[in-house]
Structure 1
Amino acid sequence: MRTGMLALALGLLTLRFLPSLPPGWLLLAAACAGLSLLFTRVYPLGFFLLGLAWACNSAQWALDDRLAPELDGRTLWLEGRVVGLPEVSDGVVRFLLEEAHSRRAELPKSIRVAWYGGPRVQGGERWRLAVNLKRPHGLVNPQSFDYEAWLLAQRIGATGTIKAGERLTPASGLGSWRDGLRQHLLAVPAFQREGAIAALVLGDGSGLSTDDWRLLQHTGTVHLMVISGQHIALLAGFLYGLVALLAKLGAWPARWPWLPCACALALSGALIYGVLAGFEVPVRRACVMVALVLLWRMRFRHLGAWWPLLLALIVVLLLEPLASLQPGFWLSFSAVAVLVLVFGGRLGVWGWWRGLTRAQWTMAIGLLPMMLILGLPVSSSGPLANLVAVPWVGMVVVPLALLGTLLLPVPVVGEGLLWLAGGALHLLFELLGVIAEWLPAWLPSDLPLWAWLLAAAGALLLLLPAGVPLRLPGLALLLPALLLPSKQLLDGRADVWVLDVGQGLAVLVRTREHALLYDAGPRFGDFDTGERIVLPSLRALNVRHLDLMLLSHADNDHAGGALAIQAGMPVRRVISGEPQRLADALGAEACESGQSWQWNEVTFRLWQWQRASSGNQLSCVLQIEAAGERLLLTGDIDVQAERALMQADFPLASHWLLAPHHGSRTSSSQAFIDAVEAQHVLITRSRHNAFGHPHPQVLERYRAAGVEVHDTALDGALHLRLGEHAAARALRREPRFWREK
């Protein structure tokens, strides 16, 4: 039976790795074949086929519930109910709308909307809204957060921006109660850590600042500030241990068997905590695992510790097959598997300190391969930070926060306990700040498969019991993954990445020994693409410093992320077409028209219109030439600047052209297109942008001239190998069943 369960789990997990979903008739055939094979000797194959068929069907249902293509970009009036806790950040209200319906079209069951400058919205309210609807779409970059996969895993079929709205009915139900409790928690003074307390009690992380999240990421303690399996397990374990202690002391009523009562109380506490936290997918997963562990403790301990873990995996995936698209799913089950492997077969009894220290260093080693393959930041200080933070949060902060929340109706007492919880959190964050400054997190580069397999084997060897021979060589197997240098470029070659930063620009150019960044992406409120997209992409591509950051001009969509990039990695020099408009901290120098230099036999040339009268016209133009192949990066120059560039002493002809000003109708004149004689044009923009970029007339000009168009909104990040005269690689074109082409 265990073989069949393992096969079923593999079938359910296979969904994550499919480039496209099989057609419906093939899934029906697989399900029928699976059912017939259950009664044969090859029954594991039957379980595998059934698991695969169920997972693929579930994913197809979610894809079918996406917004219809003909409604993409349209504004409709619709009615719906607010679910969950709305998030408010920099004046933007974001929330999930369910039961949405419109007289003019059929809508997805769940829509995630944003209201810029909107009023206060509460969970449980019903609204009539004018929403500009969009199909699920995310930015696609090397090793970046996959927003489309996240939306599909949440079964969100559309996103949208609210233009206007009116409240139809007031808040009611559980959502209203949770929202009211959140407001009460945020109103209690707690050393300015009210947002962190709300995160621990309600699972609402919107009260944590960007700096808070960055600090947690650097110290590997993010899991402590979101209600996860650890919090659910801690509460369940506390309630179970309380009953067990009373039974051991003889204080438990003899007529009530203590073990079933302990398990029932622990499960009840876990479920109540889960409901308090909104019962999101990670919390449901944790409750399922707690329930199965308690069942195993009561009746099935003889089957070993791996059985409840496998059963929990299957139950979670049967309930929500799309859970495997989320990194948290893999990390949570991997963490439990590491603990089972390390503690399951130990001899003797360990003290709590030895057990805690062993758990932290084995967790760091055991999760390293998973962090590497998922492209997540690896915290060097994680074991040390968690050694302090885990018991502090689990045994001090969470009990104080939950007890304080429970006793809020009691004057002074509840608020006093929350004040103490805030003080404990404040001390913790101060300590984490010191640790993060000493040992910040690092983002691993994209590893070849062989290096990852060696790292996985090395981690497994190190986690084996002390008596097993050849454990120490496991450390050597980890080294390639940690120290593997990036693939070196040849002289006379340039590696170019046009990153997908939405309505903005960021282009990485690397030679054998040097790296240059042309523009830094935009910043919108608390969403800084320099920090969220450009920096992680640079680190994933094994760029550890920049020789030059060239900011074409000072507009936000080109320079908004510059400060975050400068803070995140060493930048030796900054040049800009508008240095006077940039922050003094950047120390930007002026663009010198006519300047040129060579890096590893790759030539770089600058140009700027000296008679420019606007920021766009002042854009610093860069041309890169490698082995006779040229790329021209033009910033936001307009038709007048293009005319001046054509009249300048500048080798204008280029194979690749970055469309000036994102394809605006004020640029890309026919004369300029003819003068450049490009074979390929690169357009960087966001879908449905308010500026209408690229303009249809501009696209028609390029196509009429026989120029191939590459658009980051449609293609994602673009990878060019300058000097090889090769085709561009578009990341969005790489097959993923959840990704819209």
Structure 2
Amino acid sequence: MRTGMLALALGLLTLRFLPALPDASWLLAGFVLGLLLLPFRSYPLGLFCLGLVWACWSAQWALDDRLAPAFDGRTLWLEGQVVGLPEHRDGVVRFELRDAVSRRGALPSRLRLAWHGGPPVQAGERWRLAVNLKRPHGLVNPHGFDYEAWLLAKRIGATGSVKAGERQAVTQGLSAWRDSLRQRLLAMPAFGREGGLVALVLGDGSGLTHTDWGLLRDTGTVHLMVISGQHIGLLAMLVYGLIAGLARWGLWPRALPWLPWACGLALAAALLYGLLAGFEVPVRRACVMLAVVLLWRLRFRHLGFWSPLLAALVIVLLAEPLASLQAGFWLSFAAVAVLILVFSGRLGAWSAWRTLGRAQWTVAIGLLPVLLALSLPVSASGPLANLIAVPWISLTVVPLALLATLLLPMPFVAEGMWWLAGGLLELLFVILAHIAEWLPAWLGRDVPVWAWLLGVLGVTLLLLPGAVPLRWLGIPMLLVLIAPPRDEVPTGRAHVWLLDVGQGLSVLVRTREHALLYDTGARFGDFDLGERVVVPSLRTLGIQRLDALLLSHADNDHAGGAQAVIDGVTVGKVLSGESHNLPAALQAGPCQSGKTWDWDGVRFRLWRWPQAHSGNAASCVLMVEAGGERLLLTGDIDARVEAALLASGWAPRAEWLLAPHHGSRFSSSVRFIQGVAPTAVLFARGAHNAFGHPHPSVVERYRQHDVQIHDTALEGALRIELGAFAPPRALRQEARFWREK
């Protein structure tokens, strides 16, 4: 049985690694082959085929439910029902709409919408909305967050911005009840931690600030503030323990066998908690795992620990094959597997604190390969923080918050418990802040496959019992995982990364021993592209220090993320064409026109229009030359500045040209294109941007001059090996079945 479940699980998991989905004929052949093999000894291969076919068919169903290309970027009137709990933050309402209909044509079954300055939206309501719809699209950067995979895993077929709308009906139901409960809970004071308590009760994390999430990420305690297996298991354990205790003390009715009732009521309590939390995928996954464990406890104890875990894995993937696209899926099952490996088969009893401490450091080591493979931050302070936070949250904050929710009909008692839970949560955040300041999280470098596999072997050795011979060999193997070999840049060449930061710009130029960043992307409130895209990309590429940060000018889309970059990595000096208009904290120096320098055989040269005082015209232009191949970075200069650049005698001929001002129609003049004579032009812009960049006339101009066109909105981040005269590497072209080319 275990072999069959393992084969079925491998078939379901294979979906995550497919570059493209097989067509219908291959799926049919796989289904028939799987059925034919089931009666024979080769049945594991048959189960593998059936699992793979089911996963591929489910994924294709989700892909087919995406917005039709004809509606991409268009504004349509539609009507649908709000599902889940809407998020209200910074004047923006974000919510999901289900079963939307429009007279213009069929729409995806689930939409994710944002309404800037919109009215309050409640769960369960029906709305008629004018929405600018877009097909799923995300930024694609080196080992960055894959937004398109996340949307597909949630089966969201389109995103959109609401332009106008009117409420059609207020409906009753579970979603509406949960939303009204959220409002009641948020209205009760709790030391400003009402949002955190609501996250623990209802699974709605929108009340936590960006700073809160950063603190939880730095201390490896994010799992404590989302309803996960830990919270579901805690409640079930309390119910089970209560019934077991009553039976031991002779207080449980003898006519009722205590074990079946304990297992049944524990599962019922977990399901009710899951229902309260909206029964999202992580909660469903936790409930399935708990149900399998309770069934194992009741009937199948002889199967050991691994069979229940494998059974839960199969059930979760059969119910939702796309779960393997989510990081939480891998982390939750990996954490349970590590704990089973560490604690099963050990002799003797351990104290509670020793057990908790061992669990924390072994999980930290065991999850390290998973976190690095998923490009997630690794918290060095996680074991210590969790040693404090796990019992703190599990034994005090969560029980008090749940009791306060149950006792809402008794306002005085409920408010007191809620207030106390909030105070305890606030005190915990103060402690976590000190821990994070002492030992923040780090993001590992890109790890080669061979180094990752060696690291997995080392982690496994370290987690084995102490009596295992040569267990110490796991330490050097683990070090290879933590500090993998660096991708060296040859002397006389430069590796250039044009990052995908949407409607903005950020370019990394790296030589053998130095690195320069040209612009940092934008910042919109709490959403800082410098923090979320640029810094993670720098760290995964092994960049801990920038010798120079060059901000072409002070516009938000070029310099908005500068402070986050300075906070995230060490920066030698900051230069800008508009240094006087940048925040004083950046300590930016002026762009000195004509300044040149050499790094590792790569030549850099600056230029700025002397007559420009501020604005786009003051952009600092950078020429990079490696091995006779040139790259010209132009900021947001317009046709006037282009003419001045040509007249300056700067001789700006270059093989690679960053299109001035993202391809605005007031730039990239014919004379400038002829003067630079580029082989290829790079457009840095966001899909469906409000400015219409690049302008069709500009694109046509480059085509008429036989210039190759590369566009971050279509190709994602671009890597150029300057000095090799080779075509660029476009990350969006790397095969992923969920990613549009």
- The answer to whether the superposition gives a TM-score over 0.5 is yes
- Tell whether 2:566 aligns with 1:566: yes
Residue 613 (structure 1) shift: 5.1
Q: Distance in 1 between the 2:722 and 2:245 partners?
A: 69
Alignment partner, residue 671 of structure 2: 671
Partner in structure 2 of residue 221 of structure 1: 221
Report the CA distance between 1:530 and its aligned residue.
0.5
Per the alignment, residue 514 of structure 1 pairs with 514
* Residue 369 (1) aligns with residue 363 (2): no
- Other-structure match for 2:200: 200
The residue aligned with 1:429 is 429
Residues 369-427 of structure 1: CA distance to partner in whole angstroms, max 9, x if unpaired?
A: 11111111100000110010011101111001111111122021101111111111111
The answer for the alignment partner of 2:88 in structure 1 is: 88
Alignment partner, residue 40 of structure 1 = 40
Alignment correspondent of 1:158: 158
User: 1:5 maps to which residue?
Assistant: 5
After superposition, give the CA deviation of every residue in 1:458-497 in whole Å (9 maximum; x if it has no partner).
1101111122111111111101111224122121111110
Determine the structure 2 residue equivalent to 1:185: 185
Following the alignment from structure 1 to structure 2, what is the Cα–Cα distance between the partners of residues 177 and 498? Answer: 47
Who is 1:717 aligned against? 717
> Residue 114 of structure 1 contacts residue 161 of structure 1 at CA under 8 Å; is this kept in 2?
yes
Alignment of structure 1 residues 507-586 onto 2, 5 Å: 507-586=507-586
> 2:668, 2:171 → 1: CA distance?
52
After superposing on structure 2, the runs of 4+ consecutive aligned residues of structure 1 that deviate more than 2 Å are none
Residue 84 of structure 1 and its aligned partner are, at CA, apart by: 0.2
Match of 1:324 in 2: 324
Would you say the 8 A contact 2:445–2:483 is kept in 1?
no
- Matched to 1:246, the amino acid is L
Per the TM alignment, residue 525 of structure 1 is displaced from its structure 2 partner at its CA by 2.0
CA distance in 1, matches of 2:475, 2:187: 50
Contact 1:128 1:167 in 2 (8 A): yes
Conserved 8 A contact 1:122-1:171: no
1:481 aligns with 2:481: yes
Secondary structure of the structure 2 residue equivalent to 1:725:
coil
| Counterpart for residue 632 of structure 1 | 632
Aligned counterpart, 1:414: 414
Give CA deviations for 1:136-184 in whole Å, capped at 9, x if unaligned.
0000001111000000000000000000000000142111111111111
TM-score (norm. length: structure 1): 0.99
SS in 2 for 1:168: strand
Residue 472 (1) aligns with residue 465 (2)? no
Q: Report whether the alignment pairs 1:441 with 2:448.
A: no
Distance in 2 between the 1:730 and 1:87 partners?
A: 34
Is the contact between residue 79 and residue 128 of structure 2 (CA under 8 Å) also seen in structure 1?
yes
Question: What do the CA deviations read for 1:603-641 (whole angstroms, capped 9, x no partner)?
Answer: 111000111254100000011001111000000000000
2:175 aligns to what SS in structure 1? Answer: helix
Amino acid at match of 1:220: G
3-state SS of paired residue (2:112): strand
For 1:254, the aligned partner's letter is R
Pair 1:461-2:461 in alignment: yes
1: distance between equivalents of 2:572 and 2:249? 67
Shift in Å, 1:242: 1.3
Answer whether contact 1:89 1:526 (CA < 8 A) is retained.
no
Count of equivalent residues: 741
> Where does residue 354 of structure 2 map in the other structure?
354
Find the counterpart in structure 2 of residue 708 from structure 1: 708
**SS, match of residue 4 in structure 2:** helix
The one-letter code matched in structure 1 to 2:619 is S
Give 1:343 shift.
Answer: 1.0
Instruction: Show the counterpart of 1:27.
Output: 27
SS of corresponding position for 1:575? strand
Take 1:484 and 1:565, find their aligned partners in 2: how far apart are those partners?
23
| Partner residue, 1:118 | 118
- In structure 1, what residue type is equivalent to 2:559? A
Distance (whole Å) between structure 1 residues aligned to residue 11 and residue 490 of structure 2: 43
Residue of structure 2 equivalent to 1:61: 61
CA distance in 2, matches of 1:180, 1:578: 50
State the AA in 1 paired with 2:643.
Answer: R
Contact 1:194 1:207 in 2 (8 A): yes
Aligned-pair distance for 1:512? Answer: 0.8
One-letter amino acid of the structure 2 residue matched with residue 172 of structure 1:
Q
- 1:291 is aligned to 291
Q: Which runs of 5+ in 2 are unaligned?
A: none
Report the 3-state secondary structure (helix = DSSP H, G, I; strand = E; otherwise coil) of the residue aligned with 1:353: helix
CA distance in 2, matches of 1:615, 1:534: 23
Residue equivalent to 2:611: 611
Corresponding residue number in structure 2 for 1:694? 694
Residue range with higher mean Cα deviation, 52-61 or 372-381 = 372-381
Question: Offset at 1:121?
Answer: 0.2
Deviations, residues 199-229 of structure 1 (Å, cap 9, x unaligned): 1111111111111111100000000011111
Identical aligned pairs, as a percentage? Answer: 68
Is it true that 1:273 corresponds to 2:273 in the alignment? yes
Query: What is the root-mean-square deviation in Å for CA atoms of aligned residues?
Result: 0.8
TM-score (norm 2): 0.99
Would you say the 8 A contact 1:655–1:677 is kept in 2? yes
Query: Which region of structure 1 is more displaced relative to structure 2, 698-707 or 254-263?
Result: 254-263
Name the aligned partner's letter for residue 360 of structure 2.
Q
- Which residue identity does 2:455 align to in structure 1? A
Residues 238-270 of structure 1: CA deviation (Å, up to 9, x unaligned):
111111112112221211111111111110111
SS at match of 2:550: strand
Q: Aligned partners of 1:20 and 1:314: how far apart in 2?
A: 23
485 and 40 in structure 1: CA distance in 2 versus 1, 3 angstrom threshold? closer
**C-alpha distance in 2 between matches for 1:188 and 1:481:** 47
Letter in 1 for 2:20: S
What is the DSSP-based 3-state SS (H/G/I as helix, E as strand, rest coil) of the residue aligned with 1:462? Answer: helix
Query: For 2:624, what is the secondary structure of its paired residue?
Result: strand
Contact map agreement 2:236 2:266 (CA 8 A) in 1: yes
Partner in structure 1 of residue 450 of structure 2: 450
CA distance in 1, matches of 2:45, 2:487: 41
The letter for the 2-side match of 1:656 is W
Residue by residue over 1:625-682, the C-alpha shift from the partner in whole angstroms, topping out at 9 and shown as x without a partner, is: 0111100000000000000000113130000000000000010000000000100100
Q: Helix, strand or coil for the counterpart of 1:145? A: coil
Give distance in 1, aligned partners of 2:501 and 2:378: 24
Structure 1 distance, partners of 2:363, 2:541, is 26
Alpha-carbon distance in 2 for matches of 1:255, 1:343: 36
The aligned residue for residue 733 of structure 2 is: 733
Say whether residues 1:307 and 2:312 are aligned partners. no
